[in-house]
Amino acid sequence: MTSDVVSRIDALKAALHHHNYQYHALDAPIIADSEYDQLFQALLALEKAHPDLLTEDSPTQRVGSEPLAGFTQIQHALPMLSLDNAFNAVDIADFHERVAERLGQMHVRYCAEPKIDGVAISLLYEGGRFIRAATRGDGLTGEDVSMNARTIEAIPLVLQGDHFPDRLEVRGEVYLAKAVFNDLNQALIEQGEKPFANPRNAAAGSMRQLDSRLTAKRRLTMFAYSVGLVEGGNLPSEHYDLMQQLRVWGFRINPDIQQVNDAEGCQAYFDALAQRRAHLAYEIDGVVFKVDSLASQAALGFLTRTPRWAIAGKFPAAQGRTRVLDVEFQVGRTGAITPVARLDPVQVGGVVISNATLHNFDEIKRLGLHLLDEVIIERAGDVIPKVIRVAASARGLDSSPIVRPLQCPECQSELVQQEHEVILRCTNDLGCPAQQKERIRHFVSRLAMDIDGLGGKVVEQLMKAGLVHNAADLYALEFDQLVSLERFAPISAKKLIAAIDASKATDLSRFIYALGIPEVGEATAASLARAFPRLAALMAADEAALVAVPDIGPIVAAQISAYFNNTNNQRLIERLCQLGVVWPESDVLEAQPTPLAGQTWVITGTFDTFSRSALKTQLQDLGAKVAGSVSAKTTRLAAGREAGSKLSKAESLGIPVIDEAGLRSLLEQLP
């Protein structure tokens, strides 16, 4: 090997890094794509001929590599905090007033930029070379996604220029452009796969691929928005100038970043960007305002979970107007009939909406909805489509009332409505194929038996093939049966069999929840498992014994008793146990401390140090019932960021509210 080869490889890498910088950071390419490809292929050929000269920072390494077994955890050197929200001009003005008062200044300059609807990421550089990438996670600990980050061309593998710190952590938002997102969804639809709900979900899913080669195909990109850890170097004194310096070092920053003055400048920027929102190449859900002076940021400091020097101005939920073409009726696992509006497709907040749930006939009555009515659609939280109201003044002569069905749309059995319910139900519990499919989907779901790879399409395929009729049949599946099915290769068949086998070892609470007993959610299943540590005792319990369990009333007790007294359900449970489903049964469960027993909690908002599902499980383990809505029976509301209407209702009812800091303190004190 000659020094000429080494020099040529180094020169090609430097040239390609520079051209990536020109293209992504500066948006000013200086060579044609064909010329770039020639340089890339030349480097690829040399590295193939001299594999010992291949390095991780080579531009050729963006194609991805062999799948990982899983993600490792990374502790953030500095927490990745969240932002408080401003929902209107008053909130923005209040934020400015607080900042100005704390700083003792009449006027404050802010740095404003669009709030990208993507996934936060932390990038670590040492000596100007990319070392590691991590997701935000819970703000304190994230997942190592370095292999996936390497595939994103907007993330420099080597910093440009000089005078960068010895260690530099750059934070940004990974996202999918609207056009790329639409192309991705179209490809998924053509392959018979479920499309992503929105670009944020697509970006999050792409960054969490264990196979980085799949991430490389997703065409992700990134805007840098701040720094974290900085060692061995100096940075500009203002945030805006810091962003310009990051651009010089090779990062993409948002072209709409601006310096603005006081609340009036913030509001003017917010209003102008709201007008342009639909025309941007990427999804945004608001504007981020940061005090521009880094010294002032340090002086303002932090609250427990948010910086005092920044706020996110959130746009109102996107709305659109369209027509209800039809209403179809879906059948759930308990036989519940859910009306779903089929809409004339309409773009709302950059996403095409063609369906919206109507929940039940009481909701249809409340809306006064007719077929072919024009309606106002809103994406609640910029995600879930919801019919807000009917444009009654636009009702045409061809509109007609929505008729309540008398028969199940799947099996034509009679539909009934119990006295205490607003829901229509199919009476054919065992013979309705739709109910069976949904029961199996519930059984395998993440909070139940958690069988990876058993999505709705696979369940439907197994049922159509006659291999699965109920949940127990899953544990009797064999490799030869799966591999004979369409789209099942030997590797995928083995993975599914392994996932099914792994799910056999569970706990009683999960198993009870997985059974899909009417009215029995996660909290009730946990209460039952604590009260009856042995399944046989639960199955033999009468309604009086069930009502004695905290938070189980006569209606729920009747449902549980009826389920376990059903011969078919008894056979199903017996067969599941025979096929190897097991859980620990111990009297120790009865002796576990339950300091929150008898209390009803409600969780709302977003928390930095734990997920809502983890918090819910922890509260349930301590004996509390976790409800979905606030009422006079609520003991306490755990309120994170964006608490909204639940917080308002709790305050109006005089229900105690605990924030994240208080919650952490309480949980640390409890046994």
User: Residue 250 sits in which domain range?
Assistant: 85-314
- pLDDT for residue 591: 42
Residue 573 has pLDDT above 90, yes or no: yes
Torsion angle, alpha carbons of 57, 61, 62, 67, to 10: -120
Kindly state whether residues 450 and 482 are assigned to the same domain. yes
Place of tokens 């005092």: 308
When pLDDT is averaged across residues 596-622 and rounded to a whole number, the result is 78
Return the sign of the alpha-carbon dihedral for residues 542, 544, 548, 551: positive
Kindly state whether residues 229 and 113 are assigned to the same domain. yes
- pLDDT for residue 590: 43
Residue 622 inside a domain? The answer is yes
Q: Which residues are catalytic?
A: 115
Q: Which helix (H) or strand (E) holds 584?
A: none
CA separation for the pair 176, 380 (Å, rounded): 21
The amino acid sitting at 522 is E
Residue 593 has pLDDT above 60, yes or no: no
When pLDDT is averaged across residues 418-427 and rounded to a whole number, the result is 81
When pLDDT is averaged across residues 188-208 and rounded to a whole number, the result is 78
Kindly state whether residues 210 and 170 are assigned to the same domain. yes
Tokens describing residue 50: 């001299």
Q: Is 660 within 8 Å of 611 (Cβ atoms)?
A: no
Kindly state whether residues 375 and 403 are assigned to the same domain. yes
Q: Per residue in 486-513, pLDDT tens?
A: 878 888 889 999 999 999 999 999 999 9
Span of 57-61, 161-165, 200-204, 430-434 with lowest mean pLDDT: 57-61
Q: Is 439 within 8 Å of 333 (Cβ atoms)?
A: yes
Span of 43-47, 56-60, 367-371 with lowest mean pLDDT: 56-60
Kindly state whether residues 162 and 294 are assigned to the same domain. yes
Q: Residue 579's domain is classified under what CATH number?
A: 1.10.150.20
Domain-terminating residue out of 262, 289, 314: 314
The mean of the pLDDT values for the chain is: 85
When pLDDT is averaged across residues 136-143 and rounded to a whole number, the result is 81
Residue 75 inside a domain? The answer is no
Residue 552 has pLDDT above 60, yes or no: yes
Q: Which helix (H) or strand (E) holds 412?
A: none
Residues paired with residue 347 on neighbouring β-strands, in sequence order: 352
Residue 130 inside a domain? The answer is yes
Residue 70 inside a domain? The answer is no
Q: What is the pTM of this model?
A: 0.53
Kindly state whether residues 612 and 638 are assigned to the same domain. yes
Residue 197 has pLDDT above 90, yes or no: no
Residue 79 inside a domain? The answer is no
Residue 72 inside a domain? The answer is no
Sorted by sequence, the CB contacts under 8 Å of residue 123 that are 6+ apart come out as 130, 132, 133, 149, 155, 169, 170, 171, 172
Kindly state whether residues 604 and 635 are assigned to the same domain. yes
Span of 125-129, 245-249, 426-430, 475-479 with lowest mean pLDDT: 426-430
- pLDDT for residue 45: 78
Residue 428 inside a domain? The answer is no
- pLDDT for residue 33: 62
Residue 380 has pLDDT above 80, yes or no: no
Domain-terminating residue out of 355, 382, 416: 416
Residue 367 has pLDDT above 70, yes or no: yes
CA separation for the pair 230, 237 (Å, rounded): 14
Kindly state whether residues 180 and 300 are assigned to the same domain. yes
With H, G, I as helix, E, B as strand and everything else as coil, classify residue 213. helix
184-219 b/e (C-beta count within 10 Å ≥ 16 → b): bbeeeeeeeeeebebbbbbbbebbebeebeebbbbb
Measured between its terminal Cα atoms, the distance across the chain in Å is 66
The three state secondary structure string of 313-381 is EECCCCEEEEEEEEEEEEECCCCEEEEEEEEEEEEECCEEEEEEECCCHHHHHHHCCEECCEEEEEEEC
Kindly state whether residues 535 and 495 are assigned to the same domain. no
Torsion angle, alpha carbons of 17, 23, 28, 33, to 10: 100
Of 64, 58, 66, nearest to 39 (Cα)? 58
Kindly state whether residues 16 and 91 are assigned to the same domain. no
Q: Which helix (H) or strand (E) holds 298?
A: helix 294-300
Kindly state whether residues 143 and 269 are assigned to the same domain. yes
- Nearest 5°: the CA angle 411, 413, 416 is 130
When pLDDT is averaged across residues 542-555 and rounded to a whole number, the result is 84
Span of 133-137, 423-427, 582-586 with lowest mean pLDDT: 582-586
Kindly state whether residues 294 and 324 are assigned to the same domain. no
The count of other CB atoms within 10 Å of the CB of residue 502 is: 13
Q: What is the DSSP string of 233-267?
A: S---SBHHHHHHHHHHTT----TT-EEEEHHHHHH
CA separation for the pair 225, 208 (Å, rounded): 21
- pLDDT for residue 616: 81
When pLDDT is averaged across residues 630-634 and rounded to a whole number, the result is 84
Residue 347 inside a domain? The answer is yes
Domain count, the chain: 6
Domain-terminating residue out of 542, 567, 591: 591
Q: Is 348 within 8 Å of 377 (Cβ atoms)?
A: yes
Percent of the chain, pLDDT > 70? 92
Torsion angle, alpha carbons of 477, 479, 481, 485, to 10: 120
Parallel, antiparallel, or unpaired: how do β-strands 310-314 and 85-86 relate? parallel
Q: Residue 244's domain is classified under what CATH number?
A: 3.30.470.30
- pLDDT for residue 671: 62
- Phi and psi at 8, nearest 5°, equal -65, -45
Q: Residue 617's domain is classified under what CATH number?
A: 3.40.50.10190
